[in-house]
Amino acid sequence: MNILEKLKNCSNLENFINTNFQEIYDFFHNQTQTELYSYKKEIKQYFRQARREIISLDCSNKINGDFIALLIESCEKLHLFMEFGLFYDYLSKCGYKLGDRLQATHHYCSSIKKFDDYYDKNYLILELLKSAYLNEDESKEQLTTTYINFYLHMLYNFGEYNKPKIIHFKKYIFSELQNYIFLDKEFINTILNINIADYKKAYSDSLQLLNNYLYQTGLIICKINNFLQSEANQYSQQLHKIQNPNFNKIRKISIDYIMSIGNPNDLHYQLSQGVTVIEEEDLLYKYLFNYGKMHKTKLYASFDTVIHQLNNKTINVIDWGCGQALATSLLIDYLKENSLNIDISNVILIEPSSLALSRGMLHIDVLKEDEIDIKAVNKDIDSLEISDLTINNSNITLHLFSNILDVEFFRLDINFLEKIASSQKGLNYFVCVSPNINDKRNARLDMFYRYFNEYFEMELISSRDTPLNDYTRYEKIFKVANL
């Protein structure tokens, strides 16, 4: 019996959510669009059967809000727009923050009465998507999908009798999109170029293309390089010339370089708010320029709550989605600045960008004072194997999740969580800090924390959602014994 059948048959929905949230999340969020679509009829039936019970859930219990947010996203994916509006309105009244992208979807789900309303809503929707890109780290693919769904909503509802108006609207879209560089215009044009003479076929063909698009862009191609080394080039030479190297001096090289080339806007957009897999060297400099200070501010505050517990210990470090190994580099700096006697024996760096990973190894090499055994794992998180995470010693392990757990580019599913539990042993500390973007994104950190709290001997050290200077923060720091 799959989780959908269990949901249909459960006698107490709130209790069921609390004890089965991970399985619910895996079903509604971690399946591909095509896999989820195969259950559309059953999902629609369940929503209609249980809608009164769903919108009666007490959202002061945050996990109930997280559950409804999952349903809202599923409604968007499956084009269940009536159900989307019902669940969205309820959760919004509860004060749950869903973000600007889903607010854009709500505008065309709930308030389109006549064809001309699409023109009235177009600018508002594009501006909300722009805000989601600039302020909420939403990906180009997610935003593009939402905008295409806006067009498909129009095609489905008005395609039979308003073809000339739709053709005119498509031309209007072509001109409007020039001002919104965060959208995938090439793919949008592919959808808009589908002939709508048979509007039902055009709608179906568009959905199939959209499903394929989401599947392909959801994958990070794993470029495994078993012989990856830290880079040796002009940048390396600059770093090795630094007297008494530290993170700020390393970052200054990136600042100087970016300013020397005029700080071009296109680099900012190519970073996709810092979540893209970097494949160009200039983006390495730009990332440090844009986000280096933020990482230091938030991680130092996190380290203040926990690192003293490791004094006079030998530890391993696993830096998840490490990029240029900023979290590990900042840890090394923090230990020096606070005169802590903590010996870092082994470091595992996990990162899909070979460019960023190679540079990260260089940063550690420049900053370290003693020898560190570094294992560079050039993979995306979904491709990890237990052997990638194994360290053959009995040291305490410190896990650094800096701006990674909230990112929806990897599956935060039971398989991932069990890989961590199976590969680690003894005492483990987890430092998890991300931007406080909205409740929906925070739910991923909550779910990660909840797994260890439910199945292991766990102690919460810090849980904060307050801003830090100019940066938002959502933080969970905890230790787990006897993994």
Rounded average pLDDT over 256-272: 74
- Confidence class for position 94, pLDDT limits 50, 70, 90: very high
Position 290, amino acid:
N
CA-to-CA separations, 31 to 139, 145, 218, 334, 460, in angstroms, rounded = 18, 16, 11, 40, 31
How much is the pLDDT for 204? 93
- Confidence class for position 212, pLDDT limits 50, 70, 90: confident
How much is the pLDDT for 284? 87
How much is the pLDDT for 233? 74
Rounded average pLDDT over 413-424: 93
Residue 88 CB partners (closer than 8 Å, separation 6+)? 72, 98, 102, 105, 106, 109, 110
pLDDT > 50? residue 114: yes
pLDDT > 60? residue 416: yes
R_g over Cα of the chain: 24
Instruction: Please answer whether residues 230 and 368 qualify as being in contact, where contact means their C-beta atoms are separated by less than 8 angstroms.
Output: no
Q: Position of tokens 């280096």?
A: 292
How much is the pLDDT for 277? 65
| Segment 279-324, tens digit of pLDDT | 688 888 888 888 899 999 999 999 999 999 999 999 999 999 999 9
- φ, ψ for residue 433 (rounded to 5)? -140, 130
Q: Which residue ranges form the domains of the chain, and what is each CATH number?
A: 3-217 (no CATH), 294-481 (3.40.50.150)
Q: Which two tokens stand for residue 387?
A: 């052997």
| Segment 323-332, tens digit of pLDDT | 999 999 999 9
7 compared with 280, residue with greater pLDDT: 7
DSSP codes, 346-402: EEEEE-S-HHHHHHHHHHHHHH-SS--EEEEE-S-GGG--HHHH--SS--EEEEEEE
How much is the pLDDT for 177? 86
- Confidence class for position 222, pLDDT limits 50, 70, 90: very low
Q: Which two tokens stand for residue 95?
A: 């004060």
Which has the minimum average pLDDT: 25-34, 172-181, 225-234, 290-299? 225-234
Rounded average pLDDT over 179-202: 92
Give whichever of 136-140, 350-354, 356-360, 474-478 has the largest mean pLDDT. 474-478
pLDDT > 90? residue 43: yes
Q: Say how far residue 230 (Cα) sits from the centre of its chain.
A: 27
Percent residues over pLDDT 70 in the chain: 93
pLDDT > 80? residue 217: no
pLDDT > 50? residue 133: yes
How much is the pLDDT for 267? 67
DSSP state letter for 476: E
Which has the minimum average pLDDT: 271-280, 370-379, 384-393, 404-413? 271-280
